[in-house]
Amino acid sequence: MFKQRVVFVHGAGSFGAAAWPKQHGMALNYDALFLRRHGFDAVADPLESDFAADAAILLGALADDGRGEAGGHVVAHSQGAIAAMMAAVERPDLVQSLTLVEPACLSLTAELPATAAHRALMQPLFDVRQHLGDDDFQAEYIRRAFAVSGPADGPGAPALGPTPEQRREARRLRLQAPPWEAPLQIVPGVPTLVLTGGWEPLYEEIAGYLRETGALHRIAAGGHRPQDSREGDRYLRAFIADVGRRRHARAS
């Protein structure tokens, strides 16, 4: 039986399948791929982030499923949404739907108040990141991003600690480019769901912008990871299934 492909693109914290614990079971009904973005590896040293490289990795996963079929649904979290939108603009024929979970698409809303305030808070830290150690950058990033209103599972919030993986995570965080520098455009004609946690005005502002361009917006509990909640997972699965049914009906 043919299975539609679904490609999952992680954010700034966990990567690969570990970033999608509630969605593992979708492999029963879909050809599910859990990507690792550029510079994310369990052993190798982290690399500086590269928006174009991330989009290329995603397009490669969509280009051919090994059975002569191409294209699929894309589910992306936080900074992974940048690659998802870039890929959909470049090859809308390959992207059957977009599910953007708490999308860090700040370059789309740069002039709006919550995004402007976030950038004003974080830009000075990114301006000096090349002069800071990994641990110092990580500690200050967490303090600025999460100390006031952010939950413990906020965007890319890594756990401080001395293990090799935690050291790689701190280095990886420092090497991530500011999301407001991403070259984003609105994706025309691709069915889009935006899923947010309702906890942070920044992400609700981005969701509102995307909703005005035609996206469906749903809110589920779970802070920055609403896909981990039962309701969020249900929204995600239902949207993909509905798009798939409609595509099948049009093709029949």
Report domain extents, the chain: 5-109+182-251, 113-175
pLDDT band at 13 (very low <50, low <70, confident <90, very high): confident
Q: What is the pLDDT of residue 146?
A: 76
Is 62:36 a contact under the CB 8 Å cutoff?
A: no
Reported for 204-211, long-range contacts at CB under 8 A and 24+ positions apart, including other chains, are 204/114, 205/109, 205/112, 205/113, 205/114, 205/115, 206/103, 206/104, 206/105, 206/106, 206/108, 206/109, 206/115, 207/103, 209/108, 209/109, 209/112, 210/100, 210/103, 210/105, 210/108
pLDDT in the model for residue 250: 84
Length of the chain as a residue count:
252
DSSP string, 108-150: GGTTSHHHHHHHHHHHHHHHTGGGS-HHHHHHHHHHHHHSSS-
Mapped to the 3 state alphabet, what secondary structure does 215-234 carry?
Answer: CEEEECCCCCCHHHCHHHHH
Instruction: Rank 2-6, 38-42, 97-101, 141-145 by mean pLDDT and report only the highest.
Output: 97-101
Amino acid present at 146? F
Averaged pLDDT, 200-216: 97
Predicted model pTM:
0.92
pLDDT recorded at residue 107: 97
Which pLDDT score, from 0 to 100, does residue 2 have? 76
CATH for the stretch 5-109+182-251: 3.40.50.1820
User: What share of the chain has pLDDT > 90, as a percent?
Assistant: 78
Find the range with the poorest average confidence among 42-46, 139-143, 154-158, 240-244: 154-158
Q: How do residues 168-190 score in pLDDT, each as one tens digit?
A: 999 999 999 999 999 999 888 99
Confidence of residue 147 (pLDDT cuts 50, 70, 90): low
Mean residue pLDDT of the chain comes to 91
